[in-house]
Structure 1
Amino acid sequence: MVISMKGKSKKIIHQMINIRRDLHENPELSGEEYETSKKIQQVLTKYGIPFEAGFAKTGVLGIIKGAKPGKTVALRADIDALPITEQTNLPFSSKMNGKMHACGHDAHTAMLLGAGILLNEVKDSLQGTILLVFQPAEENAPSGGAAKMMEDGVFSTYTPDVIIGQHVWPDLPVGNIGVKPGPIMANSDRFKVVIKGEGGHASMPHQAIDAVIVANQVITSLQTIVSRNVDPVDSAVITIGKIEGGYRYNVIADMVTLEGTVRTFTNETKQLIKEKFYQVVTGIVQSMGAKVEIQYMDGYPATVNTPIWADQIKETATNLFGKNSTPRVEPCMGGEDFGRFLQKYPGVFYWLGTSIGEGQKPLHDPQFMVNEDALPYGIELMAQAAIDILKKLNDKKESVVHE
């Protein structure tokens, strides 16, 4: 029996948009998603979808068991917001000062609920199990919520053979899906460097060790790690995002703090940069007579798609939305906690086009907006992908048995 989700979201889309808007008005930060979790559980209860809760405190696992035993596919959405004050002026803007769904997790949650509702309606025709994973704390890098959910046993009863995640993507128009085999998102590491010099009067620099000058040399030299150590055909980024130091215009600073991030796609490049980072920073600081404390925090691993399942998403999207729906995309240096799931289980992470067109702001911007016309695409693709992948897994199992 062929099960198609094409057009099936029409009967629930208004409700899913309302859910998305309610979540958008009431965002909760990483680790604080208690009301969000309750709302998810209420929807699952309403539609008769069994669930377990409490993973990583606020995470929820919906469980859709098919009529026949078979393989297991997990679908994941993140549910937390960001510490950003919204500036969109939407009628459903955040009611919480300093909190905003500026990364589309409200839409992710609504779409996964929609996909779960559609899948639950056809469960008697399914062979196997589909899991709905609502993950907290995705924005809380470098710890995140994926590892904690797994530590708490989210997959202790049902182990996914494949896991799928999707993310709204403002760089793609509605109806386009961005997916590729291999790395699609980067290793996302963080660092904090505290440079300690000796203060003094601005007119007498010879009596001091200027932490600002030392920091300047460190910042400039760190960029040579990528330009002179990383293979030019590889990709890497070192960014200093925050600098703090100094007291006033006529005082030589005795301390400067630098904070930033390192982004890479391969573990080899990640380790190379980490080693060179320590060498460059300590070498320069010591040569200038200062001292330094370095905190280098390994963050989210690269999000590396299993080729067979990346190809399956392309095939499913093409069947649903047409041959031009999956344009070629390049990987992004952004980090994603979903990479931790992919370290444990085969799977795929893809981007859902959500551009509003002219005036579109990027993810994490106070004026970021999601084109809600994309929600039916996300609901139907996630549901159909679960069905298609489940069928492929079960067909492969049966072919092995009969060989």
Structure 2
Amino acid sequence: MTTEDTLQALRPHAEEFIGIRRDIHHNPELSFKEQRTSDLVAERLQDWGYHVTRGLGGTGLVGQLRRGSGTRAVGLRADMDALPIKEETGLKYASRQSGVMHACGHDGHTAMLLGAAKALAERGRFSGTLNLIFQPAEEYGTRESGAMRMMEDGLFDNFPCDAIFGMHNMPGWPQGKLVFREGPMMASSDKVFITLNGRGGHAAMPHRAADPLVAAASLVMALQTVVSRNVDPLQTAVVTVGMLQSGIANNVIPQSAKLALSVRALEQSVRDLLQKRITELVHAQAQSFNVTAEVDYQRGYSALVNSSAETEFARRIGIELVGADQVVLQGPALTGSEDFAFMLEKRPGCYLLIGNGDGDSAGACMVHNPSYDFNDDNVVIGAAYWTRLAERYLSEAPLAG
């Protein structure tokens, strides 16, 4: 299909896939509990002639379609899980699960890939193997997330891919705009849990105690210098203290204080430096206040790094589909995180963004917000993009290194 043929073929089916998106939104499921969503996806793929393999990473699945004699294989990935957030949109199709909602647009990502799946099964012209990866638990937040578990269950062993591609909606960019970035695109995400152990006592006699709360207060301020004084100003790093808990009464010096940090970086060397300096600083601050420290440093998602050739290929598809004025060739990096990064550590590929809306539009509400909703105008564009990319990838010569 030509680019215009791709869009024309999908437009009559817009309501069908918007309906699927809203159905998934109405029935959200948390990480590793996406049973209904997985059933829905599997049923559609089987109806369209895909060979469906379920149970990868728990509720994950792969729909495979082989055509012609081509030896190349491509993987397209969509995530399926929702978040533990109470929805406040007031929409007719708002979540009916109390305290659970699709606040990140994974319902839309799933619908876009299903739209492409149908188009490719019915009209797609390609020669090779198409692997559609529907992943659970992107929001899980640890190295045991859906991407890692699918790979541990043999994703790329059983479904080899020469390249993989993923897409995420992004509020703040105009609806339908496609944003690409070669190299580091999203940050690593680590969690740090710190316990300062002191010696409790009476507030009126602080000299007979070792106050962990004062040490914690000083540590919060000291941690701000890690980025400003240890990291190259031209590098990206974030150290955020998101939690400080200590004490229950005004006249009692507590026995301990607890802090929780979110630490992010785009480069591995910076990530390593942050861990070294934070750990050193915690112990040094503790010693200076005559308390002791325990540091539980948990590495989470890796930085997401797009490979050069695959990103350039993905850009070309975007320009062909929506025009150069609707494509950002090298967008800014993000300090948010994404477990597609683990897949990109195993296979070359590209992760791109599609604008969800900007300014005062409804689609501009940021993700992970109770008022967020995926922009349905993106369903056809996203499906057409995946359709065109798969056809072109499975018809062209191997990409240059």
Q: Which residue number in structure 2 is paired with residue 215 of structure 1?
A: 216
1:64 to partner: Cα distance: 1.2
* Contact 1:164–1:348 under 8 Å retained in 2: yes
Question: SS of 1:5's equivalent?
Answer: helix
Residue 347 of structure 1, aligned match among 343, 346, 349: 349
Structure 1 segments unaligned to the other structure (5+ residues): none
Q: Which residue number in structure 2 is paired with residue 29 of structure 1?
A: 30
Which residues of 2 match residues 171-210 of structure 1 at below 5 A? 171-210=172-211
Q: Which residue number in structure 2 is paired with residue 76 of structure 1?
A: 77
1:159 partner letter: P
RMSD across aligned C-alpha pairs, in angstroms?
1.7
Q: Which residue number in structure 2 is paired with residue 54 of structure 1?
A: 55
Question: SS of 2:169's equivalent?
Answer: strand
Q: Which residue number in structure 1 is paired with residue 277 of structure 2?
A: 276
1:6 to partner: Cα distance: 2.6
Distance 1:137 1:256 in 2: 32
Distance 2:205 2:89 in 1: 50
1:55 partner letter: L
Distance 1:231 1:23 in 2: 44
Which residues of 2 match residues 306-385 of structure 1 at below 5 A? 306-327=307-328, 328-355=330-357, 357-358=359-360, 360-385=364-389
Q: For residues 286-330 of structure 1, what are the alpha-carbon distances to aligned partners after superposition, in whole Å with 9 as ceiling and x for unaligned?
A: 221112211111111111111112112221111111111112520
TM-score (norm 1): 0.94
Structure 2 segments unaligned to the other structure (5+ residues): none
Question: Does structure 1 residue 165 correspond to structure 2 residue 166?
Answer: yes
Distance 2:133 2:91 in 1: 29
Q: For residues 104-123 of structure 1, what are the alpha-carbon distances to aligned partners after superposition, in whole Å with 9 as ceiling and x for unaligned?
A: 11111111111111111235
Q: Which residue number in structure 2 is paired with residue 291 of structure 1?
A: 292
Question: Does structure 1 residue 130 correspond to structure 2 residue 134?
Answer: no
1:175 to partner: Cα distance: 2.1
Question: SS of 1:7's equivalent?
Answer: helix
2:366 partner letter: P
1:196 to partner: Cα distance: 1.4
Q: For residues 137-194 of structure 1, what are the alpha-carbon distances to aligned partners after superposition, in whole Å with 9 as ceiling and x for unaligned?
A: 1111112111110110122233100100000111111120111100111111111111
Tell me the percent identity: 37
Distance 2:175 2:25 in 1: 20
* Contact 2:172–2:359 under 8 Å retained in 1: no
Relative to 1, partners in 2 of residues 1:2 and 1:88: Cα closer, same or farther, differing over 3 Å?
closer
Distance 2:386 2:262 in 1: 32
2:384 partner letter: E
Q: Which residue number in structure 1 is paired with residue 87 of structure 2?
A: 86
1:135 partner letter: Q
Question: SS of 2:72's equivalent?
Answer: strand
1:357 to partner: Cα distance: 4.2
Q: Which residue number in structure 1 is paired with residue 39 of structure 2?
A: 38
1:356 to partner: Cα distance: 6.1
